[in-house]
């Protein structure tokens, strides 16, 4: 603990991402390893293989049990899981350079303000939050996915029937035989184990990056408040000092804008797929729970509702912080500046009125309104399934 307390704040910021990379070494997504353990490695290929197997397990019942709406729905559910898993792996492994750029931007931004106590306090708070998130998000996914498996086993034992998790089955296999059932179930457990790490990795990466964005937007308010404090104490005589302060504000805004652009590039497609597939999965899980008493669906609903709310709520909180920063910047006593500098400060205010916000594919804003829209869409999908079943 003493050694960590002596580390710089920028190192601690970088370490939150390093800890994530170390945590997912098991599934081959440890992109911050550059030695012989660097991906793609055998674990990476195993993760990709299991993702493809999960997709096949979802498609198989759709064709094999095409006369049963329940089996088709279960197959679609499993296939949607595979789509999510594939998207998460693709996001991390296909754009490693973008990942490195985001991480370097996060560390560099903090390093530039290590002599500012107010900014250090902001980022120290978010670093502590990230360190709290990391184990607890993993525990959440481990609990949810474990409970799905346990409930499936419990129902199978109670009813003395061979119930398949999510209805997914392997092709070319007599899944009603004891051996076939065991092979199918073991495959599901292995996929679930890897899935727990994969879902945790993408969630924590997004939350960690957005926590960094929170720190950025709050830093803009701090540097503007520092300018106000200087003007109140010393006036506007020292033009060089004022130029330096305004340049720092503009640079901070520019760095934050670049960070948000990269963030949207990294997570834009991911967010769109996760939200749309989660809505489908929740509607299917509710349908199966209502029509067929699918108890595991309760935990599935919790998992996918968490994913949607994470993306939307974190984006909504960012917009609240951006609005608060805008208010603080407007309250800055920029009227004490020389006339030419006042015009520059008006541009700073205008920038905050058009701040880059989290989006999915640059078209769908991730905020509270989007979450409400998702709830409405899920209800409509559920009603559609119920009407089709009747």
Please check whether residue 38 lies inside any domain of the structure: yes
Number of structural domains (the chain) is 1
CA distance 6 to 86: 40
**3 pLDDT above the threshold of 60:** no
How is residue 348 written in tokens?
A: 């700073």
**76 pLDDT above the threshold of 80:** yes
DSSP for 153-185 reads HHHHHHHTS-PPGGG---SSS-TTSHHHHHHHH
Three-state DSSP class for residue 359: strand
Give the global pTM.
0.89
CA distance 320 to 178: 56
Q: What average pLDDT score do residues 330-345 get?
A: 80
Segment 218-268, tens digit of pLDDT? 999 999 888 888 888 887 778 888 888 888 988 999 999 999 999 999 999
Q: Identify whether the C-beta of residue 255 lies closer than 8 Å to the C-beta of residue 209.
A: no
DSSP 335: G
Q: Identify whether the C-beta of residue 107 lies closer than 8 Å to the C-beta of residue 16.
A: no
Residue position matching structure tokens 């089996």: 71
Q: Who's near 387: CB < 8 A, 6+ residues apart?
A: none
Please check whether residue 90 lies inside any domain of the structure: yes
Please check whether residue 196 lies inside any domain of the structure: yes
Q: If pLDDT is split at 50, 70 and 90, which confidence band does 5 have?
A: low
Q: Identify whether the C-beta of residue 234 lies closer than 8 Å to the C-beta of residue 333.
A: no
Q: What is the pLDDT of residue 38?
A: 80
Q: What average pLDDT score do residues 38-48 get?
A: 86
Q: What is the pLDDT of residue 216?
A: 94
Please check whether residue 4 lies inside any domain of the structure: no
Please check whether residue 3 lies inside any domain of the structure: no
- Terminal alpha carbon distance of the chain: 62
- Integer angstrom CA distances of residue 74 from 33, 223, 284: 38, 53, 8
DSSP for 193-237 reads HHHHHHHHHHHHHHHHHHHHHHHHHHHHHHHHHHHHHHHHHHTT-
Greatest mean pLDDT among 71-75, 188-192, 282-286 lies in: 282-286
> Which residues constitute the domain of residue 112?
11-389
**100 pLDDT above the threshold of 50:** yes
Q: If pLDDT is split at 50, 70 and 90, which confidence band does 380 have?
A: very high
Segment 110-147, tens digit of pLDDT? 999 999 999 999 999 999 999 998 899 999 988 988 88
Q: What is the pLDDT of residue 21?
A: 87
Q: Identify whether the C-beta of residue 55 lies closer than 8 Å to the C-beta of residue 89.
A: no
Please check whether residue 59 lies inside any domain of the structure: yes
CA distance 190 to 182: 12
How is residue 145 written in tokens?
A: 């996915």
Bridge partners, residue 359, by sequence: 365
Please check whether residue 2 lies inside any domain of the structure: no
């Amino acid at each position: 603990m003493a050694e960590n307390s002596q580390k710089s704040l920028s190192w601690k910021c970088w370490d939150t991402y390093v800890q994530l990379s170390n945590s997912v070494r098991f599934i081959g997504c440890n992109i911050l390893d550059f030695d012989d353990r660097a991906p793609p490695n055998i674990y990476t290929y195993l993760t990709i293989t299991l993702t493809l197997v999960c997709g096949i397990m979802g498609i198989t019942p759709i064709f094999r049990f095409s006369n049963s709406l329940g089996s088709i729905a279960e197959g679609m559910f499993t296939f949607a899981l595979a789509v999510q898993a594939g998207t998460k792996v693709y996001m991390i492994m296909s754009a490693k350079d973008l990942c490195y750029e985001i991480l370097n931007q996060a560390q560099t931004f903090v390093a530039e303000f290590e002599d500012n106590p107010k900014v250090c306090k902001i980022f120290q708070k978010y670093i502590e939050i990230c360190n709290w998130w990391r184990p607890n998000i993993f525990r959440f996914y481990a609990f949810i996915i474990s409970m799905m498996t346990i409930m499936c086993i419990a129902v199978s034992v109670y009813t003395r029937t061979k119930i398949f998790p999510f209805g997914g089955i392997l092709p070319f296999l007599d899944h009603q035989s004891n051996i076939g059932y065991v092979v199918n179930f073991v495959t599901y457990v292995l996929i679930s184990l890897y899935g727990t790490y994969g879902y945790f990795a993408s969630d924590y990466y997004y939350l960690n990056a957005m926590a960094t964005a929170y720190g950025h937007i709050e830093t803009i308010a701090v540097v503007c408040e520092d300018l106000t404090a200087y003007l109140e104490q010393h006036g506007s005589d020292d033009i060089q000092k004022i130029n330096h302060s305004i340049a720092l504000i503009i640079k901070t805004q520019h760095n934050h804008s670049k960070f948000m652009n990269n963030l949207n590039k990294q997570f834009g497609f991911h967010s769109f797929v996760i939200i749309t597939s989660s809505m489908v999965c929740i509607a299917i899980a509710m349908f199966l729970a209502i029509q067929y008493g699918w108890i595991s669906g309760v935990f599935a609903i919790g998992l996918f509702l968490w994913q949607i709310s994470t993306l939307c709520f974190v984006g909504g909180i960012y917009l609240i912080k951006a609005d608060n920063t805008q208010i603080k910047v407007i309250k800055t006593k920029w009227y004490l500046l020389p006339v030419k500098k006042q015009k520059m400060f008006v541009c700073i205010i205008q920038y905050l009125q058009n701040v880059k916000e989290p989006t999915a594919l640059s078209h769908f804003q991730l905020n509270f309104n989007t979450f409400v829209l998702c709830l409405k869409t899920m209800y409509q999908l559920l009603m559609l399934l119920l009407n089709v079943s009747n």
